[in-house]
Amino acid sequence: MSLRNPSPAAFRQIFAGKIHRATVTEADLNYVGSVTIDKDLLEAADMFVGQQVDIVDVTNGARLSTYTIAGERGSGEIKINGAAAHHIHPGDTVIIISYALLNEVEAKDYKPHVVLVDKENRILHEGNVPGHVPGEFSTCCGGSSASSPLKSSGVDLKTGN
């Protein structure tokens, strides 16, 4: 089993999609678990309702796992529900990450769904290179600024190197 000789019988958990630097719009401690996400954002990131996701809070460093619920299409809603509301608050900047269990053959060529959003959670850019932030978006995504731009991996989009 290796990426040089992939096996259809071996499975790996692979990064599948993310909504990058979204702004939390609401937190409801009394709701029964989950994260509610604008349906447009769910679809752009190729996330399913009920799918397990990790939420990384850029504002305070919290990281947790939960599942998705579809919010109103076009609303920009990112609502943290249940106990997670103790750790993630309205106005926080978060990254919502999904994963997929793929066999090594599928995983070798899988392209994730990366969605960059602005501070109102409107889609700015959709791509498939996890560590790449197009230059024109380095200062416009939630929490970034001219004095603190987003950094990119420097991956060459043509060669992947």
From the list 2, 7, 31, 34, the catalytic residue is 34
Residues with Cβ < 8 Å from 154, sequence gap 6 or more? none
Which residue among 67, 75, 138, 152 is the active-site one? 67
Active site residue 67: yes
Question: Residue 9 CA to chain centroid, in angstroms?
Answer: 28
Phi, psi of 43 (to 5 degrees): -65, -40
Could you list the beta-strand ranges (E) of 25-159: 26-28, 35-38, 52-57, 63-71, 78-81, 93-103, 113-117, 123-127
Q: Residue 31 catalytic? A: no
Query: What positions carry a catalytic annotation?
Result: 34, 67
